[in-house]
Amino acid sequence: MDKMPRWADVLLVPLICLIIAFFFCGILIWAIGQSPVEALTIMITGSLGSTYGWGYTLYYATNFMFTGLAVSIAFQASLFNIGGEGQATLGGLGVALSCLFIPWPHWSLALAGSMVAAMAFGAAWAFLPAWLQAKRGSHIVITTMMFNFIAYALMNYLLVNVLRPVGKMDPASARFDEVTNLPQLGEILALVGIPFSTRNPANISLLIALACAVGVWVLLWHTRLGFAIRAFGKSEKAAVYAGISPVRITLYAMMLSGALSGLMAINSVQGEANRLLLNSVEGAGFIGIAVALMGRNHPFGIVIASILFGFLYQGGSQLALGTTIPREVIVVLQALVILFTGALPYMVQKPLERLFVRRAA
Amino acid sequence: MTLMKHLLGASALLALTAGAALADPAIIYDVGGKFDKSFNQAAFGGAERWKEETGGTYKELEMQNEAQREQALRQLAEGGANPIVMTGFAFGDVLNAVAPDYPDTKFAIIDMVVDQPNVKSVVFTEDQGSYLVGMMAAMASKSNVVGFIGGMDIPLIRRFGCGYAQGVKAVKPDATVILNMTGTDGSAWNNPVKGAEIAKSQQSQGADVIYAAAGGTGVGVLQAAADMGILSIGVDSNQNYMHPGSVLTSMLKRVDNAVYDAFKEGEALTAGINVMDLKAGGVGYAMDENNAALVTAEMTAAVDAAAAKIVSGELVVHDYMSDNTCPAGQF
């Protein structure tokens, strides 16, 4: 036996990473003169101690599931899509246009329409960088990042000059019609008799995100296209030899990725804000990269990692509300957890592996 | 018996939290952050002044993201904070939805009008204050070219720029006003390097007075102006001290007074729209020993005369946000 059991790799490594991360967070909190135990208690009870807290945790997690899945699909084709931010911004525009200008009779139709619009806009935003990569060899990291800035500028132009109601100060669109409001998670769970707070933004998008995770898993490991994407990611030359078109796979993978990023907007734009804001994405596109890394590019891992990041976001909010720990330190705490769980698992993996191998020997 | 105990315990707890509820006001700073040397920091100054004078305590919170807005408002309201003051127009829509749920809590919002019976809306007439510093810029300029550097390109900042341009043209109709914005996203509020670059570019086009209405970006504008030996105009807080002899004046926006007043009124906060205009001392220009040598008696006389006319209603400064156009300049 030269490898450790899979359960240890999947469960024990992240757990140990998390404990190390919390240890260093504790030192930091202690160093600024606060109580680490109290801070940790506030974080955990605030985000997981009530259905209200869970609602926020799951709301953030839903965003990260979409963007994490988006990054992972492109990653399987060894394309590093940093443009989740821009694609999700455009997805938000699609959702807003659909909700503002189409008189939907029912929320379910509005949701379907928004999903189509969000995916179309997100995919369209990913198309050009993908085409440039496939045809011209312009590096996808550079082009997608540039497209983020173009998306910001476009959104700013549209919100300030076109979509903003006259006389309003806020560069945001008008509120969507109430018909388009999505059912909240609390309302859905009440149908099956589970009491869950409705005073939080968690909504039906969570179920769609979970369905997308299953969909991505089926696509990648049980379809021909998924096989082609993975084969292309492993070795472009071998893929070409097997008759797989690099241009087509690059385009498909990136547009799927863009569509998933765009879908995030049904949660943040339609589910939470009910209007289009200037920064509706709020870094979720970038967090998606960390989520995908931590979830080892597997849909199941991404769902778990998303919930952890949701916990960090909601716990961080509660920390700001419940203590006098400054906002900047909270960002450092979140970053420490990301550092240890996302970037440094190998630090734990190797010694642990040795431990297991020695015991088995 | 145990049920009774629970009930008693619960009511005792309620009484305790209700007792605590009488205590503290709260302030929420927008995503720009508490120490932006400008808008939010002015609000912080107002809160601190209240604390010093009354010895009271207050809760404060800095926004981290958009979804937090509603969450923070609800939690502070449920935690018994009263009144709850928030800086920035971005809270408007959320407050409009949250305020009806807490009829016993008073809210105050700065830079935005929210029409609810328990909300005090504090708005400033930045166009009037900017008009006055615009006049001063025109009189101080030798090249007849003056500059304006805004933060993020939003209507509120265009209102600053438009008022400024009108003030300049009122003194020198043939003067050139260069209107620039730092950027299109939130980082434009805190990009001093880019602010300095734009200031240099405006100087190369002949500008010798530059007005910065750009939050933290303005720090770079003021620095660059001082380095190039030209004049600058600060914003929101009195920034004359930052480069004595180079900062011509500062357009004051008394956010600190708004916060202080709201805290002082406490739970008796009067709802409604509170327009902090020139007349109410909400906006104005800053004079102190740092800029005394730069401003002549002629300049103050002309500006004060215009101010009196604005107060009396004889002179009307066009508000960009009333119709999204500016008669005096192009953005």
The string of pLDDT tens digits covering residues B221-279 is: 999 999 999 999 999 888 999 999 999 999 999 999 999 999 999 888 899 999 999 99
Facing residues of B283 across strands?
B253
Token pair, residue B20, equals 């605590």
Tell me what the pLDDT averaged over chain B comes to. 88
pLDDT in tens, B36-94: 777 888 899 999 999 999 998 998 888 877 778 888 898 888 888 899 999 988 898 88
φ, ψ (nearest 5 deg) of residue B108:
-130, 135
A64 reaches B (C-beta below 8 A): no
Residue window 205-224, chain A: list those with CB within 8 Å of chain B: none
Chain B positions touching A50 (Cβ under 8 A) are none
> What's residue A330's pLDDT?
87
State the smallest CA–CA distance between residue B184 and chain A in angstroms. Answer: 6
Asked if A320 and B90 come within 8 Å (Cβ–Cβ), the reply is: no
B27 reaches A (C-beta below 8 A): no
Q: Report whether B30 contacts B90 (CB < 8 A).
A: yes
> What's residue B88's pLDDT?
85
Q: How many CB atoms lie within 10 A of CB B236?
A: 27
Q: How many CB atoms lie within 10 A of CB B150?
A: 29
Residue of A170, A178, A318 to mutate when probing chain B, most B C-beta within 10 A: A170
State the smallest CA–CA distance between residue A169 and chain B in angstroms. Answer: 6
- How confident is residue B3, by pLDDT bands cut at 50, 70 and 90? very low
Look-up of token digits 């504090």: B122
| B231-236/B209-213 β-pairing | parallel
Asked if B184 and A152 come within 8 Å (Cβ–Cβ), the reply is: yes
> What's residue B15's pLDDT?
39
**Nearest-Cα residue of chain A relative to residue B71:** A200
pLDDT in tens, B107-160: 999 988 899 999 999 999 999 999 999 999 999 999 999 999 999 888 889 999
Token pair, residue B98, equals 């949250």
pLDDT in tens, B24-45: 899 998 877 788 777 888 899 9
Residue of A47, A89, A156, A269 to mutate when probing chain B, most B C-beta within 10 A: A156
Which pTM does this prediction carry? 0.81
Closest CA to B240 of B225, B262, B258: B225
**Nearest-Cα residue of chain B relative to residue A273:** B67
Look-up of token digits 């024990």: A12
B94 CB-contact burial (10 Å; exposed 0-12 / middle 13-18 / buried 19+): buried
Q: Is the pLDDT of residue A41 over 70?
A: yes
Token pair, residue A113, equals 């329409």
Q: How many CB atoms lie within 10 A of CB A235?
A: 12
Cα A207 to Cα A49, A211, A251, A267, A308: the distances in Å are: 22, 6, 27, 11, 17
H helix intervals, chain B: 2-21, 39-54, 68-78, 92-98, 126-140, 155-171, 192-204, 217-228, 255-265, 297-312, 320-323
Query: DSSP letters of A313-325?
Result: HHHHHHHHHHS--
Facing residues of B59 across strands?
B26
Q: For chain A, count helices (H), then strands (E).
A: 16, 0
* Helix, strand and coil percent figures for chain B, each rounded to 5: 50, 20, 35
Pairwise CA distance, residues A123 & A352, whole Å: 41
> Which residue among A171, A268, A313 sits closest to B154, beta carbon to beta carbon?
A171
What residue type is B79 in one-letter code?
G
φ, ψ (nearest 5 deg) of residue B151:
-80, -110
A164 reaches B (C-beta below 8 A): yes
Q: Report whether B15 contacts B209 (CB < 8 A).
A: no
- How confident is residue B19, by pLDDT bands cut at 50, 70 and 90? very low
Instruction: Look at phi and psi of residue B144 and say left if phi exceeds 0, alpha if psi is from -120 to 50, else beta.
Output: left
Work out the angle at residue B286's Cα, subtended by the Cα atoms of residues B281 and B290, and round it to the nearest 5 degrees. 160
Pairwise CA distance, residues A136 & B225, whole Å: 44
pLDDT in tens, A124-159: 999 999 999 999 999 999 999 999 999 998 998 898
> What's residue A164's pLDDT?
83
> What's residue A167's pLDDT?
67
ipTM value, please give it: 0.71
Please tell me whether the peptide bond between A105 and the residue prior to it is cis, using omega within 30 degrees of 0. Answer: no
Chain B positions touching A313 (Cβ under 8 A) are 65
Facing residues of B146 across strands?
B177, B209
Pairwise CA distance, residues B265 & A85, whole Å: 43
> What's residue B23's pLDDT?
57
Pairwise CA distance, residues B252 & A172, whole Å: 27
Query: DSSP letters of A183-238?
Result: PBHHHHHHHTT----SSS--BTHHHHHHHHHHHHHHHHHHSHHHHHHHHHHH-HHH
Pairwise CA distance, residues A262 & B185, whole Å: 20
A312 reaches B (C-beta below 8 A): no
**Nearest-Cα residue of chain A relative to residue B319:** A167
Pairwise CA distance, residues B307 & B284, whole Å: 9
Chain B positions touching A283 (Cβ under 8 A) are 65
B325 reaches A (C-beta below 8 A): no
Top-confidence residue, B85 or A358: B85
Token pair, residue B71, equals 């969450």
Cα B97 to Cα A176, B92, B93: the distances in Å are: 14, 9, 7
Q: Report whether B187 contacts B156 (CB < 8 A).
A: no
> What's residue B289's pLDDT?
93
Q: How many CB atoms lie within 10 A of CB B13?
A: 10
Pairwise CA distance, residues A84 & A63, whole Å: 11
Pairwise CA distance, residues A54 & A73, whole Å: 28
For chain A, domains (ranges, CATH) are: 35-323 (1.10.3470)
pLDDT in tens, A60-93: 999 999 999 999 999 999 999 999 999 999 999 9
Q: Report whether A89 contacts A63 (CB < 8 A).
A: no
**Nearest-Cα residue of chain A relative to residue B74:** A199
Asked if A169 and B65 come within 8 Å (Cβ–Cβ), the reply is: no
Cα A81 from chain centroid (whole Å): 13
A310 reaches B (C-beta below 8 A): no
For chain B, domains (ranges, CATH) are: 2-125+257-268+271-276 (3.40.50.2300), 126-252+284-323 (3.40.50.2300)
State the smallest CA–CA distance between residue B277 and chain A in angstroms. Answer: 17
pLDDT in tens, B160-205: 999 999 999 999 999 999 999 998 766 788 889 999 999 999 999 9
> Which residue among A171, A172, A320 sits closest to B64, beta carbon to beta carbon?
A320
Asked if A278 and B185 come within 8 Å (Cβ–Cβ), the reply is: yes
Chain B positions touching A316 (Cβ under 8 A) are 64
Residue of B73, B86, B101, B185 to mutate when probing chain A, most A C-beta within 10 A: B185
Pairwise CA distance, residues B298 & B277, whole Å: 24
Chain B positions touching A201 (Cβ under 8 A) are 67, 70
Pairwise CA distance, residues A59 & A307, whole Å: 9
Asked if A169 and B61 come within 8 Å (Cβ–Cβ), the reply is: no
Chain B positions touching A279 (Cβ under 8 A) are 66, 185-186
Share of chain A above pLDDT 90, in %: 65
Q: Is the pLDDT of residue A361 over 70?
A: no
Tell me what the pLDDT averaged over chain A comes to. 91
Facing residues of B268 across strands?
none
Q: Tell me A105's DSSP state.
A: S
> What's residue B136's pLDDT?
96
Angle between helices A284-294 and A299-322 in degrees, nearest 10: 130
Cα A205 to Cα A58, A172, A192, A210, B153: the distances in Å are: 10, 22, 18, 9, 33
Asked if B65 and A313 come within 8 Å (Cβ–Cβ), the reply is: yes
Q: Is the pLDDT of residue B20 over 50?
A: no
Q: Give me the torsion for CA of B168, B169, B174, B179, rounded to 10°.
A: 60
**Nearest-Cα residue of chain A relative to residue B159:** A169
Cα B148 to Cα A215, B137, B166, B184, B232: the distances in Å are: 52, 10, 12, 16, 9
> Which residue among B67, B111, B186 sits closest to A169, beta carbon to beta carbon?
B111
